[in-house]
Structure 1
Amino acid sequence: MGTDTVREPAAGAVAGRRREQRGWYVYDWACSVYSTSVLTVFLGPYLTAVAESAADPEGFVHPLGVPVRAGSFFAYCVSASVVLAIVVMPFAGAAADRTGRKKPLLAAAAYTGAAATAGLFLLDGDRYLLGGVLLVLANASLAVSMVLYNSYLPQIAEPEERDAVSSRGWALGYAAGSLVLLANLVLFTAHDSFGVSESMAVRICLASAGVWWGAFTLVPLKRLRDRRAGPAAAPVHGWRQLAATVRDMKGKPFTLAFLIAYLIYNDGIQTVISQASVYGSKELGLSQSTLITAVLMVQVLAVAGALGMGRLARAYGTKRTILGSLVAWTATLGAGYFLPVGAPVWFFVLAAGIGLVLGGSQALSRSLFSHLVPPGKEAEYFSAYEMSDRGMSWLGPLLFGITYQLTGSYRDAIVSLVAFFVIGFALLVRVPVRRAISDAGNPVPERI
């Protein structure tokens, strides 16, 4: 009888953890459609076209009286969204850990982003400023929501499960992106058959991502549960808490070293995600249908890539697998500089290379960092991580925009991104992850 008494709670705990994990996966399913359809495919070229229609004869728009080349406006808005996220994320992370109430904060961030995305339906004519404001709000809200979402990972998965759980979340997100993007492709290419203009089709695709995001967020909000805050919970002071988190990280220098390496190579990843469609459209002269097909290919291959790299991590170690992905990123972007104009086949080859490493490099980075977080400080540390993931990824888009503004060539802008992967690799290879995990007070997995 004693044995049965022990087993039943243990079995119940496992079942409860699995239920939370399944709910957790669905937030990737919900929000990844924004990243795919809005940020990666439609909004960059469309907002650039709207800005160009509002530009003066020299090709400049003047938000707040500042002259900005219309082709750089989208990249600058992405950077501005990062600034807003940096302001808000420390408060969200500190509030989550100190109050234990992550779900209401996750709901607020998710539905702010979903509403702003749905509002992009109003983007037409020369309303480039409206598009810029909604982009900044949606992108910053996504970053804040991901702080809270990612911070659940150490609480809902045992150390040996995290690579698999994180990879499944990414894979499900890319599956959702593929499904919705396929529907977008049908609507966009056959818009005449549906009785709508090309511009209206794009606006419907943008707005539908917001509706999808909001609808499926209901599932994780139902299944995830808040943990009770510690007895010493204090009032929230976001920036003070961020400063305290950074000071705490200085006592864990290997965790900080990983975060710096991730900050750099992920800056390159995020810039590729947000600027690839602009590069394909404006520099390579590819049609919107070609770009949608290429991104759809990325989404499908990213599902296999995330799951496949998860298996590679179990066989060869997480750190080694991430390093291999950075080599692949470097080679892929180096080849991207030489792509010929008007040659979709070679662009598809590039997209295939990106798809195979995209999901895995991000999923495994999230999983590895979860091992480096001291127990009880998940949201605070993931706030700093999210600043690296989206919040601090301002340098790449800014450099991309400035390079284009100075040279007028997106090809010159894309080649600069190789440096992020080379430097990130050089820093990550020096991080002793086993010692970092031990120093954080966590059990060291057999293979990491």
Structure 2
Amino acid sequence: MTENSEPGGTDAPRNFPPAPLTGADAAAATVGVDTAQLEAVAAQTHRKGRILSWALWDWGGAAFNAVVTTFVFTVYLTGDEAFGGETFVSAQLGWTLAVAGVVVAVLAPITGQRSDVSGRRKFWLAINTYIVVIVTALMFFVEPGPGFLWFGLFLLAVGTVFFEFASVNYNAMLVNVSTPRSIGRISGFGWSMGYFGGIVLLLIVYFGFINPEVGLFGVTGDNGLAVRVSMLIAAIWFGLFALPVLLAVPEYHAPNAIAREKVGFFASYARLGKDIAALWRTSRNTVFFLISSAVFRDGLTGVFTFGGILAAGTFGFSAGEVIIFAIAANVVAGISTVTVGLLDDRIGPKPVIVAALIGLVISGLAVFFLHDGGQTIFWIFGLALTLFVGPAQSASRSFLARVIPPGREGEIFGLYATTGKAATFLAPTAFALFVTLGGAQYWGILGIVVVLFIGLVLVLPVKPGKRHVD
């Protein structure tokens, strides 16, 4: 039995011959994920509780995404002159994240592959997650001063690397809590939980510590204490909300028909190369999408990673105003993600992705060229940027579900996660390069726009594939 090839590919054997599909199972096969997963997950008891437990990791992960890398800790480093000035620190921050991205690019595909083969996704999710929790707590010791800058950047780099590793395992567990007919909806639920978790945590740290002259427990802003204590709160938040997925969601074990033997670390790279070569032969359209989505998803990450830094440095937002903007941004992103998810089902994911990327490029250029307009410009076009980020992320997963060759769903979703992580150096590198060349922080906006535009150009020729069942 052979599978139908994508344009430009050749016929090749399936990983395993699927049983004939009928009725609801046949309909479900048009969505993605191993069709056997439909019965396996549907038969689970307490499935809704497992879905919530899985999504709570995203809720907790907002501690690192929103508080550490976007709106509080990085703003603290770039906004306090004691660390060396916004332009200098912004460039160093960009280079630091670029180095972290290279480490992720080299190691993430292998760590994800090896956790699949070993059947220990939850174990490595726990290890990677709690390394991030420890690193976040250590940020409490980063006091304002040039001697602490590199310590802070080092912690940020380590946290970024291990958060990406954890995300690989977390994304792979999506098939443990979803069926072919619900994978898009549940994936979107996870995204929205991340946004809304960020809102709640930002409200806590803003009203509890950063905004008041004397916050909870007598904390003040002296010596950066309000921000440093917020890092402890973020660490506790992530540590607590990471527990449900580890306790409630069962471990994944590959069926015997597709299970693979363990190989050594360096042999894992050879296996990865063979897998990608096989995918290129049998489903070239999928490879094109993996490449294009890796690029534009890194641009999407860059919007949030550097948004708070630009708000403070270029547009003069105070630390408190940055958090207020962050809350508004997460509300807009969360609502737009849920709303456009319904549109995705009607018109398909590619028009959503293309429209979102065009909107992001236009909004980014507006922020750059109109930056002299001050905070009003950033409120308008900064929120416009966040309006498009969530839908692009959600539709990207939905698109992939429609082009996966039957019988290879788990493999390709894993490759989707790892290719995305492998490109995490692009936006930080482009941001740092443009800041360095332009001599001012706002030039970094162009770097992010360039990454988004390249992703847009790469995704345009990709065809929304159709599922085939022999």
TM-score (norm 2): 0.82
Counterparts of 1:394-405 in structure 2, within 5 Å, are 394-405=425-436
Q: Percent identity?
A: 25
2-structure distance, mates of 1:416, 1:49: 20
Q: What RMSD in Å do the two structures reach over aligned CA positions?
A: 2.6
Is the Cα contact below 8 Å between 1:297 and 1:355 reproduced in 2?
no
Q: Could you tell me how far 1:88 is from its partner in structure 2?
A: 2.9
Shift of 1:383: 4.8
Q: Corresponding residue for 1:160?
A: 181
| Aligned mates of 1:168, 1:277 — CA distance in 2 | 25
Q: Which residue of 2 aligns with 1:432?
A: 463
The answer to whether 1:207 aligns with 2:232 is: yes
Q: Could you say what secondary structure the match of 1:127 adopts?
A: helix
CA distance in 2, matches of 1:206, 1:105: 23
- 1:391 and 1:260 mapped to 2: Cα distance? 10
Distance 1:138 1:432, change over 3 A: same
Equivalences for 1:31-430 in 2 at 5 Å? 31-49=61-79, 53=82, 55=84, 69-124=88-143, 125=145, 126-186=147-207, 187-194=209-216, 195-198=218-221, 199-231=224-256, 232-236=259-263, 237=265, 238-251=268-281, 252-341=283-372, 343-373=374-404, 381-430=412-461
How far is the alpha carbon of 1:165 from its aligned partner? Answer: 1.0
Residue 306 of structure 1 contacts residue 359 of structure 1 at CA under 8 Å; is this kept in 2? Answer: yes
Q: Contact 2:41/2:178 (CA < 8 Å) preserved in 1?
A: no
Which of residues 10, 30, 50 is equivalent to 1:20? 50
| Alignment deviations for residues 45-69 of structure 1 (CA, whole Å, 9 cap, x no partner) | 222356x5355xxx79xxxxxxx94
The Cα of 1:375 is off from its aligned counterpart by 6.9
CA separation in 2, counterparts of 1:107 and 1:227? 14
Query: Does the residue aligned with 2:461 lie in a helix, a strand or coil?
Result: coil
Partners of 1:295 and 1:351 within 8 A in 2: no
* Partner-residue secondary structure (3-state), 2:43: helix
Rounded to whole Å, the distance in 2 between the matches of 1:303 and 1:129 is 34
Q: Bigger shift: 414-423 or 265-274?
A: 414-423
Cα distance between partner residues in 2 of 1:293 and 1:253: 44
Could you report, residue by residue, the CA deviation over 1:222-249 in whole angstroms, capped at 9, with x for unpaired residues? 1211122344531233323322332232
Matched residues in 2 for 1:431 and 1:304: separation? 28
Moved more, 192-201 or 177-186: 192-201
Structure 1, unaligned stretches of length 5 or more?
1-8, 61-67, 444-448
Give the C-alpha shift of residue 163 in structure 1: 1.9
Compared CA separation, residues 10 and 416, structure 1 to 2 (3 A): closer
Name the SS for the 1:94 alignment partner: helix
Q: Give per-residue Cα distances to partners, 1:52-104, cap 9 Å, x unaligned.
A: 5355xxx79xxxxxxx9433111111112212222331232122221222110
What is the TM-score with the length of structure 1 in the denominator?
Answer: 0.86
* Matching residue's letter, 2:82: S
Secondary structure, counterpart of 2:390 in structure 1 = helix
The answer to whether the 8 Å contact 2:96/2:153 transfers is yes
Distance 1:260 1:432, change over 3 A: same
User: Alpha carbons of 1:349 and 1:145: their partners in 2 closer, same or farther (altered >3 Å)?
Assistant: same
For structure 2, the 5+ residue unaligned runs are: 1-38
| Aligned-partner residue type, residue 175 of structure 1 | F
Pairs aligned (count): 420
